[in-house]
Structure formats: C-alpha cells, structure tokens
Amino acid sequence: MRVHEALHWAFSFLRERQLEEPVAEMLLRHYLQMDRARFLASFHEELDGELFQRLEEDLAAHASGVPVQHLIGVESFYGRQFQVDQHVLIPRPETEELVLAVLKEIRRQFKKEEEITILDIGTGSGAIAVTLALEEERTNVTAVDISRDALQVAADNARRLGANVQLIHGDLGEPFLKTGERFDVIVSNPPYIPTVEKDTLAVHVRDHEPALALFGGVDGLDVYRRLMSQLPALTKEEKGMVALEIGAGQGMDVEKLMQTAYPKAAVDVLYDLNGKDRIVLAYWNETSY
C-alpha cells in the first residue's frame, strides 16, 4: 500500500465515525518522522506493512476515546513539541494566547535591563513555564504543581527543550506562602470546567485527561477563589502582574474576584481569536499603591 492510499483509508475510517480527519496525517507523519512538505512528497512511496498495522491499531484506540496526542506522545505549543501523557492537560491553542499576552505585558511593563521572576501555578506539562523561559531570556521561571507525575513530564520537557525552570511540588501557592517568596509575574491556567458539564465533554477529554486539571467545582471557579486568597501575598507590591486563563463566560466573575484581591490594579478581560473571554489580566506599578 502506498502512503496516499493509507491516508485515504484512514480519512474514511475517521469520517465514518465523525472524528477529525487530520488525525490520520498526524499519525502517519509521526510514524514516518516527516515534516508536512516531506510527507506530501512521499505520497507515492510504499508504506511498510507493519506501519499500516500500527495505523489500524492507533485509529481503533482513537475511536475508543484515546487522544491522538497520547498515541504520538507529543503536542505542538508555541512552535515547540511538548511531551504529554495521561498525567497532564494537553496544551491548547487558547493557552498560547495567554503566553502571548503575558510576554506582551512583560515587555510593556518592565524595562529591558530588569530581571523578572515568574511563577506558573499548576504547570502540568510545563508548556507555559518552558515557553516563557525560552521566549524571554531575562525571566527566572518557577513552576509548581500538586501532581508529582505532572512535574516529571514538565521536567522532561524543560530538559529536552533546554529551558531553565525551577520545579516545585505543592498545592497552588502554598510552598511560597511558607517561604515568603514573592514574584513579579504570576500566570496560571487553572481547572475551570464546572463539574456539571462533565458528561457533555468529549470522551477524549473526559476519560483521558486528568480530572484534577479539568474541573473547578460546581461553577468552575473554586480554584480561582483559592488563588485570590493567596495571590496578594505572592506578588511584589511595587509592580507586578497576574494573568489567568478562564473558561468562556467566566470573565466577569473572575474579573470581580481579581478586583477584590487587587483593588488598585488595572484589570482587563481579554478575548481569544474566537471572540470568547479567555484571559483575566491584572497589572500595577509604583503609582498604583
């Protein structure tokens, strides 16, 4: 069987089951270790029989609910490949927008010669922390997670991608409340899906990504409330920033929580490329207090 024949067979398999057709190309490119240009040029080459059997097995697993990212072991984020497994949330494009907003605000708020300390709360795969460390060299990035398995994935990603990130085990900001350490910037993508929406999620998400990273209580805001009780003691008073990813429709509620935590800060709700409220950003400087 040639590559293009295997691809069209896989397309049909996925289409019949109302699954995303690009999964077929993702799997084949992963097996063949090809970029897209090389893959397209290989269409008339023979595909090894063992690889086609692997394709059949992986598509069956995907049809049963296994995310394609778990099958290939990676997901692309901000132009880099991050290892993922069942212990971490699969990085989403919306979170790339969170990173972009943080980088933009850092470059606006801080002078070029300033070193900036960043804390990523609930780091998971380390996608946010590693990306910030690599994209802005003057940052000193620390990341915390309650899951030791997630921290191992983050450590592997940081090491493989060459990022200097300090990884700490702990529940939200508690390790730093104990030490009194404060940061210039805090960023987090907390669990924000209301538990009542669990049954509406795709099986790939509901059954294969960690519930600890998905669900935020009845209204999805439990972790935000806990964070707001901690954040003022974790950020520097003279100048700082907090950036939180949120679920669509949560902007007003999280904005109010942020304004209560930081009554003199400027608080903005930012919208993603799909027009949904996605980020709540608070920032302040010496003149705010």
Domain check: are 137 and 270 in the same one?
A: yes
Per-residue pLDDT of 78-96, as tens digits, reads 999 999 999 999 999 999 9
- Whether residue 263 has pLDDT greater than 70: yes
Among candidate residues 64, 89, 116, the one where a domain is terminated: 64
Domain check: are 142 and 276 in the same one?
A: yes
Q: What is the mean pLDDT of the chain?
A: 95
Domain check: are 253 and 206 in the same one?
A: yes
Q: Give the pLDDT score at 199.
A: 85
Domain count, the chain: 2
Among candidate residues 11, 34, 64, the one where a domain is terminated: 64
Per-residue pLDDT of 150-197, as tens digits, reads 999 999 999 999 999 999 999 999 999 999 999 999 999 999 999 989
Among candidate residues 64, 88, 106, the one where a domain is terminated: 64
DSSP string, 238-260: SSEEEEEE--TT-HHHHHHHHHH
Domain for residue 70, yes or no?
Answer: no
- Whether residue 273 has pLDDT greater than 60: yes
The whole domain housing 146 covers: 77-288
- Whether residue 207 has pLDDT greater than 90: no
Binding site residue list: 122-126, 145, 189-192
Per-residue pLDDT of 140-150, as tens digits, reads 999 999 999 99
Domain for residue 69, yes or no?
Answer: no
Nearest to 126 by CA among 158, 168, 159: 158
Binding site residue list for S-adenosyl-L-methionine: 122-126, 145, 189
Domain check: are 55 and 196 in the same one?
A: no
Domain check: are 49 and 112 in the same one?
A: no
Q: Give the pLDDT score at 17.
A: 94
Is 49 or 286 the better-scoring residue by pLDDT? 49
Domain check: are 267 and 148 in the same one?
A: yes
Binding site residue list for substrate: 189-192
Q: Which residues pair with 75 in a beta bridge?
A: 82
Domain check: are 11 and 129 in the same one?
A: no
